[in-house]
Chains A and B, each alone.
Chain A
Amino acid sequence: MGRREPSRGGASAPAQLTADQQRKREVKMMADSDSADVALIGNTDLTSSESENNIVNTMVEKGTALLRKIEINVPEAEKRTGKNTVNMQETYTAYLIETRPAESLPEGSVPATPDSLWRRYSEFELLRMYLLVTYPYIIIPPLPEKRAEFVWHKLSADNLDPDFVERRRVGLENFLLRVASHPVLSTDKIFYRFLTEEKKWKDEVLETGFQDKADSRLKSLSAMYRVKNPDKKFTALKLYSDELSAAISQLLRVRARVADRLYGVYKVHGNYGRVFSEWSAIEKEMGDGLQSAGHHMDTYAASIDDILEEEEHYADQLKEYLFYTDAVRSVCRKHELIQYELETAAQDLVSKKQQKEELTTGTVRIFSLKGMTSKIFGQESQEQRESRLAALEQSIQEGEEALKEKNKECQEFLQTAWEDIERFKEQKDRDLRDALINYAIMQITMCKKGIQVWSNAKECFNKM
């Protein structure tokens, strides 16, 4: 299986770009230009990895301050063994994160060696958890899958399988770039430290105390509560994310089955190779033609491996958005929680005010134990009443403050969340559209290969 070249997805001024990167930028600019048909059809020679780089370039060109400053890569993965938390020997994979300054250097000078550090998957998970808790109104980019899912039979579900590791490396790089290109997330200090400080980072992130919030957040996410006035937009968004999740899951499942079947079709053609070879042995004039044609059949059978490997990249692009729907749902639930807290606070205030009214006017509107006991055991003294009233006033004032706060929180959440949701929607439409075109390009390549092989075989048959 061929390994993908480590992608150089970081943005930088043109002078520092390699020829490869430069070409990719041109390709992307052509694709965006209005001279439509020539541009993209000419690009049908793009490989899917190049097309993916287009998506990365888009991210990067949107330009955050962080990415103007540094370039981020995850160029390597390495198998390691070490003791885990329960002091047992385990094998895991470590990923190299490289950062280098993004400024252009004067002509002729040697580029500085990049800063680099090694991280394992669990550290990425920790970072993401921190971001989830700290920015509940942001749709946090997902990590590549923990375990291989939606695999077709030939693909290994083993986490240590080199192809899985390779795809995960790409996914982790993608994750870092997504965060680095996000207008809000890219400014986070802990994220920056993740990229630059290998040893002390873990302590720093734990010191933020996000884990306490994480626990309560987890609780809230799983709690059942009913919101009286659900926000229509958020309800629609939740519904959409459920639909998207279902659609992509089903797509990935069927795709895996399709890949399986196609694999079989191609491989059986290899048997033609063998039988033609055997047959050519008993023929005189026909022999050479048959033999060569047989070789082409072998080539045809072998070609499916690369084709399906390419398709895995497409599957990964879809998976990213499948996992994104979890993040979207998470934001929706957080909003529900805030809304619920707001409604509860408002309800609280209303009932306190009613109590006050009762206390001052003497009428019992709502049933209260105090009211009952005072009826049974007699009215309380003036002093008692006044102290109770004072406490209530205090409570009401606090309640009003709390309500104001909650309202503010809710409004802010709505605003920031919805801003991010719009950004996400645009990103999703763009990325998935590119992924589909990417898929079409892959199919075209596959067809071209098929035509090539069968044309070669035909030539051999003609010579029989």
Chain B
Amino acid sequence: MSAGAPRGLASSGQKPIGEILHPLCVAEEPLSPGPDVTVDTEGEKEAVLTNGTPVETSSPASASSLFNRLQLDDDLEADGRDPYASTEAHDLFVTVDDPKKHVSTMETYITYRVSTKTTRIEFDLPEYCVRRRYQDFDWLRIKLEDSQPTHLIPPLPEKFVMKGVVDRFSEDFVETRMKALDKFLKRVADHPVLSFNPHLNAFLSAKDLNKRQGLALLTKVGESVKHVAGGYKLKVRPAEFCAMGEYLDTFSQKLGTIDRIAQRILFLQSEYLTEVREYSSVYSSWAGSEEELQRPLEGVSCTVSKSCQALEDLSENMGQDFLPVLREYVLYVESMKNVLRKRDQSQAEYEGRLEAAVLRRQEDKSPIPVEVEKCQDRVECFNADLKADWERWQSNKRQDFKQLLTGVADKNIHYFETCQAAWESFITVLQDKQTEDRTGETN
């Protein structure tokens, strides 16, 4: 490894395939601690990023170089069904289901079954089935954030729930959380870069994740602190990233508004339901003092109750399917903003170092140090990753919201259809009875 000439990163696709280490081997190594260490050990190890992750694990940044890589291993059949999906192959399928409660002396918690089916050679077996708990997902996410700082990591559902306010073991809560975890894992598995992360591999396949967590804990020092290095200030942010930032701000604002509206509707609907239940029972009690009118009154009471039930179902669905997804996207936006901030930092650092180096060169003719050029590469890599991820994210967001909103429309349509059918049946039954009575009279 020559220390002088700036090296191209694997991201530019210059490294021959043979020299790219198998991700699984690399995953065995403990991660190195801080930015300072990196500089010192530069001569001994492979070129590493500031955070200490070996280059190879931060797989090729651009989708096209990934493509080249894939050509050797997997089939390239693009998924024609989904117009929004990128052209990468779908060769990794993950599912989260089957929640189970575990009671031990120390604590009670829920585990989920994580099933994997894959044709990738990075995995030893074509199928895996492991049990994981929320903690494990959290671990994975942190690992991904640390090892892929230039990428947008999908969000997890909220970690902390107030005990006493929300029942952590209620069917609804567990179901909602499970769906969110499934979504998270699927998004990671669909990502052209993240899906090759060794931590994901370990998460999906390792029998016992605890060892890794232990190791990770030991070396966790300073990992999240990495990007505040130097306190550099950004001078000019490129327009496209400004636009992204603005978009995210407005978008998350709108999401918040929609959340509030949906909650208000749910609240008003529940108040409405309280009144309607009484409404139904008033008809029923009136029926008690009537003869001819008893049947029609009971019919109205019954039909009103049915509408009640249908509305309860609608409200429940909205609470379970709509609101959580909305909130998840708010978290996603936050993640994205974080990545933008990191990108800014990266650029600021580069510009800062460059400025310092240029000044020094003017003074004592010392050459621009390698790390400055590495910084430049990092920034370029970051920008490219970000742009690619942004496009992906926009496309997924469009798909997700289309699905979400049509789902809302469907639920409402179903509610009205149920009510309509109930009222029509009421009229029919009444008419039939009248006909019955008439023919009875004439006989």
A contacts, CB < 8 Å to B: 34, 36-37, 39-41, 44, 240, 243-244, 247-248, 250-251, 254-255, 257-258, 260-262, 264-265, 268-269, 271-272, 275, 278-279, 282, 285-286, 289, 293, 429, 432-433, 436-437, 439-441, 443-444, 447-448, 450-451, 454-455, 457-458, 461-462, 464
Take A269-B265, A457-B409, A458-B410 as given contacts and tell me if A440 and B292 are in contact as well, using a CB distance cutoff of 8 Å.
Answer: no
Question: Complex: how many Å from CA A40 to CA B427?
Answer: 8
CB-based A-B contact count at 8 angstroms: 154
Contact between B420 and A36, CB atoms less than 8 A apart: no
Question: Complex: how many Å from CA A293 to CA B405?
Answer: 10
Contact between B296 and A436, CB atoms less than 8 A apart: yes
Contact between A451 and B417, CB atoms less than 8 A apart: yes
Closest 6 CB pairs of A and B: A458-B409, A447-B420, A247-B286, A261-B272, A450-B416, A36-B431
Question: Complex: how many Å from CA A44 to CA B269?
Answer: 27
Question: Complex: how many Å from CA A269 to CA B412?
Answer: 12
Take A247-B289, A254-B279, A265-B269 as given contacts and tell me if A447 and B416 are in contact as well, using a CB distance cutoff of 8 Å.
Answer: yes
Contact between A37 and B431, CB atoms less than 8 A apart: yes
Q: Does B37 contact A (CB under 8 A)?
A: no
Take A275-B261, A429-B292, A454-B412 as given contacts and tell me if A261 and B268 are in contact as well, using a CB distance cutoff of 8 Å.
Answer: yes
Take A250-B282, A464-B402 as given contacts and tell me if A436 and B272 are in contact as well, using a CB distance cutoff of 8 Å.
Answer: no
Q: Name the B residues within 8 Å of A240 (CB-CB).
A: 289
User: A interface, by DSSP: helix, strand, loop or mixed?
Assistant: helix
Contact between A261 and B271, CB atoms less than 8 A apart: yes
Q: Does B206 contact A (CB under 8 A)?
A: no
Q: How many residues of B contact A (CB 8 A)?
A: 56
Q: Choose, from B56-64, B335-343, B432-440, the stretch at the interface.
A: B432-440
The residue that B268 contacts in the complex, of A255, A265, A436, A450, with Cβ under 8 A, is A265
Contact between A444 and B424, CB atoms less than 8 A apart: yes
Take A247-B282, A279-B251 as given contacts and tell me if A447 and B423 are in contact as well, using a CB distance cutoff of 8 Å.
Answer: yes
Contact between B261 and A272, CB atoms less than 8 A apart: yes
Residue interface bits B243-284, CB-to-A below 8 A is 1, else 0: 000010011001001100100110011011001101100110
Take A34-B438, A37-B428, A258-B272 as given contacts and tell me if A444 and B409 are in contact as well, using a CB distance cutoff of 8 Å.
Answer: no
The residue that A464 contacts in the complex, of B282, B405, B439, with Cβ under 8 A, is B405
B contacts, CB < 8 Å to A: 247, 250-251, 254, 257-258, 261, 264-265, 268-269, 271-272, 275-276, 278-279, 282-283, 285-286, 289, 292-293, 296-297, 299-300, 303, 307, 398, 401-402, 405-406, 409-410, 412-413, 415-417, 419-420, 423-424, 426-428, 430-432, 434-435, 438-439
Contact between A258 and B276, CB atoms less than 8 A apart: yes
The residue that A41 contacts in the complex, of B268, B405, B412, B428, with Cβ under 8 A, is B428
Contact between A275 and B286, CB atoms less than 8 A apart: no
Closest-CB distance, B268 to chain A (whole angstroms): 5
The residue that B431 contacts in the complex, of A40, A275, A441, A448, with Cβ under 8 A, is A40
Q: Name the B residues within 8 Å of A255 (CB-CB).
A: 279
> Max chain A CB contacts within 10 Å: which of B247, B427, B435?
B427
Closest-CB distance, A304 to chain B (whole angstroms): 12
Closest to A455 in B: B413
